[in-house]
Each structure stands twice: as C-alpha cells, then as structure tokens.
Structure 1
C-alpha cells in the first residue's frame, strides 16, 4: 500500500523563501517522483516539513539505504538538517487537505491499553472536527512504522488560518467527543504549516 512520508527538517542559515532552497527541493522531488509538497512551519520558521508519497514503506527504506540516497540528497546537506521522519498509510496525496491555506498535523501517542477505546472514539472526534474544517478534509491514520507497543495516530486538518484552528479548539474543548478522546493519548505534538509554493498563502 502507498505510504505518506512526513519528514521534518531544520534550515541551515537559509530562509524558507530562498529560491535556492525551493529549487533544490524541487529537483529532489523530480528525481524521486514522490509528488512532494513543502511546508514551512508557522510555529518555528526555521523548520520545514516535506510530505511525499511512496509506493510502499519498503521502497522508501530501500532508497535511504542505497547509494542513490547520497547522490540525490547530498546536495541539500548544506541547506538542511534532518529532524525526523514518520510514515502513514495513504492512498494518494490528493486525499490530504492541501488546498487549505494552513495545514495542521497532530501526532497522538496512544496510551497503553487504550487502542480499542481510541478506535471507538475517533469517529465522533473526526465528525466534530469536520464541522470546523469545512470545506477542507480531515484525514486520520496510523503511523505504520511505529512499534506495536507505542501506537501513534496522525491527524491532518485544513484551516483558513492557525487562529481559526485555535478558536475551534477552544470552542470545542469541553465537548464530550473532545474530552473523551483526549483521555486516550498523551503528549500530543501539533504543527501548522503553509505551502512554500503557494504565493497566495505566504
């Protein structure tokens, strides 16, 4: 099954809007054919996130272990530092709310023995979130490279602005759906980004 790569990188003395950075990212996208999109982090502009689709998880791992890795990614090493990569099963990039001015990603680290309860609660949680994100999609999934002992859920939502997301979160903080699912995971990590290639979103 296709998988989504979510890679977070730190900029090295280069701004996210630097044409040289975008050109380098675009060259790699063309070579790998991963339909990648590039986001600059609103909370920390020194971070960027790359989303790309691979045919399988093994295909990405094979590339990273091959000599082609240094040939393709080597020219970026003076621009970027690696932070992390996670993967999630996803049929296509078009499923993500990439048309939104702001993309939000939440990583939820499920508490021990709460997996079944989370699976039961997440449908109502998504239904509530979808009311706030209209017309943008809500996409949920499981991190497919996490250990079975530490399941991790990923939630992608689209918003007109980061402030709109914050306002909706505050409005629904005490809703039954939100309260119920929040008890099932700990230390969530949230991130908001703007597409680096969308001039109307800058």
Structure 2
C-alpha cells in the first residue's frame, strides 16, 4: 500500500508569505510527483508540514539516500530546517480532509503493553469522532517507521477552525471509548494547520 509522508519543517530566515518558499516547495512536488500539500502550523507559526504520498516507505528512503536528493531539495533546504518525518499507510491523498479550512494532526504515543487496550478504545470511539468532524474526513493509522518497541498512532481530521476541534475533544472526554484511548497514551501531541495554497 502507498504511504503518507508527514514531514515537519521549521522556517529559517524566510517569512511564510515569501513567494519563493511556496515556489520551491511546489517545484519539489512536481519533481517527485508525490501530490504533496503544504500546511502552516497555527500553534507554532515557524513550522510547516508537508504531506505527500509515496508508493512505499522503501521508495521514499531510496530517494533520501540517492544523489538526486541534494539536487531536488537544495533550494528549499536554505529556507527550511528538518524537524522530523513519520509515515503511515494511506490509500490516496483524497482520504485526507484536504477540503477542510483547518486540519488537526494528532500523534498518540502508546506504551508497549497498552496497544491492545488503546486499539479497543479507539475502535469504540472512532465513529463518534468521525461524526463530530463531519463533513470533513478522518483518517488514522499506525506509524510504520517507529523504532522497535515503540508504538505511535496518527489521527488526522478536518474542522471549520481549531477551536471547533478543541471544543469537541473537551466534550469527548465524557465518552468511555475516548477515556480508554487517552488513558493508554503516554503522550499526545496535537497541532492545527491550514493549507498554504488556499489562503484567502
């Protein structure tokens, strides 16, 4: 199955509104044919996220280890610092809530002995979350490049604005499935972002 690349990059010496930033990102997308989208973090305006689809994890790794890498990424690396990348299986970019004004991206870190309980809780709660995010999509999956013995679940959802997701999650704490899911997480990181190419 294809895999989603979710990469966090930090602005360095460039403003988010600088036209050259989006041009360089777009040029890389065209070269790599990953159908990537570019999101700007609301909580930390110095962060941007690239979400793109690769045929496989191995395909992305081959590119990163190839001589072509420096040629393709060189222009954007003068503007952006690498923060981290995660991968999860995803059938198509259309599964993402790309039509939503705001995307919520959650990373849930689960203890090794809590994976089964977490999975049961999420299965019980998932439909409630999907209903709450409507009309926007919700996708989730396991990180496939986690270190041995570590487990990370990724949850991506669309919302009208960041506050809508925050309010929904506050109310969701009353749901037994959500409580079970949250109780089995060592740590949860949630960021909200908007599409850099759809700014009004």
Give TM-score, length-normalised by structure 2.
0.97
1:119 aligns with 2:119: yes
Structure 2 residue runs of 5 or longer lacking an equivalent are none
Aligned equivalent of 1:36? 36
Give runs of ≥4 in structure 1 deviating > 2 Å: none
> More deviation in 99-108 or 124-133?
124-133
1:88-127 C-alpha deviation (Å, 9 max, x unpaired)? 0011110111110000111011112111122222122211
- Structure 2 match to 1:192: 192
The Cα of 1:80 is off from its aligned counterpart by 0.5
Counterpart-to-counterpart distance in 1, 2:32 and 2:113: 39
- 2:161 is aligned to 161
How large is the RMSD of aligned CA atoms in angstroms?
A: 1.0
Residues 117 and 180, structure 2, Cα contact 8 Å, conserved in 1: no
User: Displacement of 1:174 after TM fit?
Assistant: 2.3
2: CA distance between counterparts of 1:41 and 1:191?
7
Tell me if 1:93 matches 2:93.
yes
Task: Extract unaligned runs of 5+ from structure 1.
Answer: none
Q: Does 1:128 align with 2:128?
A: yes
Q: How many pairs align?
A: 200
Greater Cα offset, 150-159 or 123-132: 123-132
- SS of 1:50's equivalent in the other structure is strand
Match of 2:26 in 1: 26
